[in-house]
Chains A and B, each alone.
Chain A
Amino acid sequence: MNNRLRVLRAERRWSQADLAERLGVSRQTVNAIETGKYDPSLPLAFRIARLFGQPIEAIFALDESDVTA
């Protein structure tokens, strides 16, 4: 799954730790989501979407491999 988390965070000049604190998760979790190593749960994806004021599909997008799997 692809996501625009790093871009959205950079637009607000937040560090990973800033974002992690706002979301109530660890900095490693934010880093793992940004680098595509971890896909967040649906509740966390909703929290991220709400924090940035955007719909989930504007932040997260499925890869071709996710669709065919």
Chain B
Amino acid sequence: MPRERSTPQERRLRLKFALQMTAVLAIYIPVLLGSIELIEANPDAWWRFAVALLPLTLFIAGALTVLRYVLQEDELEQRISLMALSIAFASTAIFTFAYGLLQIAGAPDASWTLVWPVMGVSWLIGGIVARRRYR
């Protein structure tokens, strides 16, 4: 039996999300690299903190894109998204807390920017786990 395909509205929604996220990433990466370069070239400039936060605007745009996508999902997909985010939240909390405890024992300092990749990866894994539950 052939595997059933998703509906056209599902495919449209996913395509729209993928395009918007690609656009955000396409702007985010050069802005991030540009801001790092600018700060390194001007380490004492008064505006360096504002420039350092510039990539955050794109990050917020990405977060809003995800939020818009979730709001357009149907009720089961929203449940799956909630479960995925819950898994990501719990995993990140456990990881960061565990690393904090390890730092007391002498583990090296880690950058705060590493929290997001941990959250992102655990969100991805959470999504796979949650989706399998309803397959």
**Residues of A bordering B, CB below 8 Å:** 15-17, 20-21, 24-29, 31-32, 37-38, 40-41, 44
Contacts and interface: CB of A to CB of B under 8 A. Distances in A.
A28 B75 contact: no
A67 to B, nearest CB: 24
Contacts of B5: 17, 27
The majority secondary structure among interface residues of chain A is helix
A56 to B, nearest CB: 16
Contacts, number: 53
Interface residues of B, number: 17
A37 B6 CA distance: 18
16 contacts: A17-B5, A20-B6, A24-B74, A25-B75, A26-B7, A26-B10, A26-B74, A27-B6, A28-B77, A28-B131, A32-B76, A32-B134, A32-B135, A38-B76, A38-B79, A44-B75
A25 B75 CA distance: 8
Interface string B1-24: 000111111100000000000000
